[in-house]
């Protein structure tokens, strides 16, 4: 059995491919490449439609990376669809809102990025700004990297809480980040704490207050690992936590097998 941890990465419905190609489940290669570079084995999770199949996939995972993508359906935080909110990807919403509570209950390592940052907050009881330009007063364009078509474009800095795991990992009070989002965390969920903020005071980092490893960021570190050591450290810490989880599970299973043999 490989000692490298298996990292689940959820996938979106690739609607842009419909009509020209067969519809597909997909995600940006940068997520998988960043996980592999950190020593993990990425496993893309398709949009299975029943809980039993999803549970079978979940049970092989040592950690979950919740990536960027289209907006989560606002019904999950008791709001109607804003005119500028994306049409929901219902299959993706089902997978993430079903699987993440299992992971939280099991204390499975979790790393959220962009949409994933927002989804973790929603699943744990928080809310979102559905559309920053129309709902939140700011002079910043939080989609600047996307609009420039430069995925690692450094658009603004973020300040990081001094006593946070994020601060420990990046090793700086402020870092410059890319930005490609139009939604943001509004009310922080119970059992989460805000750890980073953009210059207009939007929450750009979260971490769990009582979890082994639960960290999320609003920007896209997977696009920054080639040039920025701190981005590599984020993935390294996440994969290391998943490896520790795997090791613990293997030891537990070995103990149970030994006890079963004694009982027999």
Q: What is the reported pLDDT for 258?
A: 65
Return the closest-CA partner of residue 151 out of 72, 65, 202, 219: 219
Backbone torsions φ then ψ of 44, nearest 5 degrees = -75, 130
The answer to whether 80 and 127 have CB atoms below 8 angstroms apart is: no
The answer to whether 192 and 221 have CB atoms below 8 angstroms apart is: no
Q: What is the CATH number of domain 6-263?
A: 3.40.50.880
Q: What is the reported pLDDT for 92?
A: 97
Tens of pLDDT, residue by residue over 66-108, are 999 999 999 999 999 999 999 999 999 999 999 999 999 999 9
Q: What is the reported pLDDT for 1?
A: 54
CA–CA distance, 99 with 93 (Å, rounded to integer)? 10
Q: What is the reported pLDDT for 225?
A: 97
The answer to whether 99 and 46 have CB atoms below 8 angstroms apart is: no
Backbone torsions φ then ψ of 29, nearest 5 degrees = -60, -25
Q: What is the reported pLDDT for 166?
A: 98
Q: Which residues of the chain have pLDDT under 50?
A: none
What's the pTM? Answer: 0.93
Please list the active-site residues: 114, 220, 222
């Amino acid at each position: 059995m490989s000692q490298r941890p298996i990292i689940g990465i959820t996938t979106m419905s690739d609607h842009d491919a419909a009509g020209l190609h067969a519809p597909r489940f997909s995600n940006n290669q940068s997520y998988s490449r960043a996980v592999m570079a950190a020593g993990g084995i990425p496993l893309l999770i398709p949009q299975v439609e029943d809980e039993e199949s999803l549970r079978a996939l979940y049970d092989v995972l040592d950690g979950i990376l919740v990536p960027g993508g289209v907006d989560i359906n606002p019904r999950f935080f008791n709001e109607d669809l804003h005119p500028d909110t994306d049409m929901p990807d219902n299959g993706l919403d089902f997978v993430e809102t079903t699987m993440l509570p299992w992971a939280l209950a099991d204390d499975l390592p979790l790393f959220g990025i962009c949409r994933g940052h927002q989804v973790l907050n929603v699943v744990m009881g928080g809310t979102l700004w559905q559309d920053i330009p129309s709902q939140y007063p700011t002079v910043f364009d939080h989609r600047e990297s996307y609009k420039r078509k430069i995925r690692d474009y450094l658009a603004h800095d973020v300040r990081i809480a001094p006593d946070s795991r994020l601060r420990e990992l990046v090793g700086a009070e402020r870092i410059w980040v890319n930005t490609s989002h139009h939604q943001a965390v509004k009310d922080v969920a119970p059992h989460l704490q805000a750890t980073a903020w953009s210059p207009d005071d939007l929450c750009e980092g979260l971490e769990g207050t009582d979890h082994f490893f639960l960290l999320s960021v609003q920007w896209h570190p997977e696009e920054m690992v080639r040039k920025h050591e701190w981005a590599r450290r984020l993935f390294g810490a996440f994969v290391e936590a998943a490896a520790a989880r795997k090791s613990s599970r293997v030891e537990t299973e070995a103990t149970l097998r030994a006890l079963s043999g004694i009982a027999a």
